[in-house]
Amino acid sequence: MSGISFATWLPAPNDRGVHTVWILTIWALVLFGFGADLTRYLHETPAPPLILHVHGLVSLAWLGLVTGQVLLAEDGNIRLHRQLGWTTIGVSAALAPLGVIAAMVDMARQVTHPDYAPQFLAEEFQDVFAFSVCVIGGVLTRKTRAEHARFMVLAAVALMDVGPGRIATNIVAQTPTAPLGVWAQYYWGTGLLIFAMLAWDLIRHRRVMRSVAVGAAVLLSGETIASILYFTPAWKTAAAGLVRAWGWAG
């Protein structure tokens, strides 16, 4: 990152403060969603295995690192921002496979539950895929703050959709009966952030930044596919077979 000019990394007047607003909105959705569900999670029987706790803590650490980077960039402390950047890349590299492992373990724990839904793995896998794509995009565009920052915010959007999903399921105790219902229940939070970012770019810049276009396409298309697969018998059978082959419940 040593070749990046300071001027390139100063917050653009049209963007000043907006990345902070987006990342704090993500924190609010995550904390409200998981906070409302924390008591149930901690009192599950059998108790959640260690791997799920580790995944949660690493996810929060990653979000904390990205938040710190956003605030440092806003403050003009680019040197420390760059130093934290490599740490964030390392945590990202660990978080992607950890997310897959946590999803498989959590699903294996639910095999005997009456509401067992192995097809939900599509949602979990698309989150990891979208997160990975956006992080890679953030690394590749690290010399241009506007694109880099948006990619990292979109990676956080991919990571946080479980929070809004828990908010919705705590309010609406009804299983979705169609793909649109799945999207509305589990992805309304990501949709809110994506459309806010699209609107910001169009209003303030008169164009959609490449990072937002790519991230929105990956997230929305993946969410649509996952929502359709939720009602696809062949995928449900394949996902159940995958869980059986995995076997490990932590």
On whether residue 94 sits in a domain, the answer given is: yes
On whether residue 1 sits in a domain, the answer given is: no
- Between CA 61 and CA 88 the distance in angstroms is 9
Q: Tokens in use for 176? A: 């979705």
For residue 12, pLDDT beyond 80: no
On whether residue 2 sits in a domain, the answer given is: no
* Minimum mean pLDDT range among 1-5, 11-15, 232-236: 1-5
For residue 247, pLDDT beyond 50: yes
SS3 110: coil
On whether residue 185 sits in a domain, the answer given is: yes
Q: What is the pLDDT of residues 156-199, one digit of tens each?
A: 999 988 888 888 887 887 889 999 999 999 999 999 999 999 99
pLDDT value of residue 13: 60
Residue 48 DSSP class: P
pLDDT value of residue 6: 37
On whether residue 3 sits in a domain, the answer given is: no
For residue 38, pLDDT beyond 80: no
On whether residue 215 sits in a domain, the answer given is: yes
Q: Tokens in use for 159? A: 């990571």
Q: What is the pLDDT of residues 82-132, one digit of tens each?
A: 889 999 999 999 999 999 999 999 999 999 988 899 999 999 999 999 999
Percent pLDDT > 70 in the chain is 94
pLDDT value of residue 7: 36
pLDDT value of residue 9: 43
Neighbours of 91 (CB within 10 A): 19
- Whether a cis peptide bond, with omega within 30° of 0, leads into 46 is yes
Q: Which residues of 21-60 are buried (b: 16+ CB within 10 A; e: fewer)?
A: ebbebbbebbebbbeebeeeeeeeeeebbebbeebeebbe
On whether residue 241 sits in a domain, the answer given is: yes
* Count of the separate structural domains present in the chain: 1
Neighbours of 233 (CB within 10 A): 8
Domain span at residue 46 reads 8-246
On whether residue 93 sits in a domain, the answer given is: yes
Q: Are 208 and 146 in contact (CB under 8 A)?
A: no
Q: Are 185 and 93 in contact (CB under 8 A)?
A: no
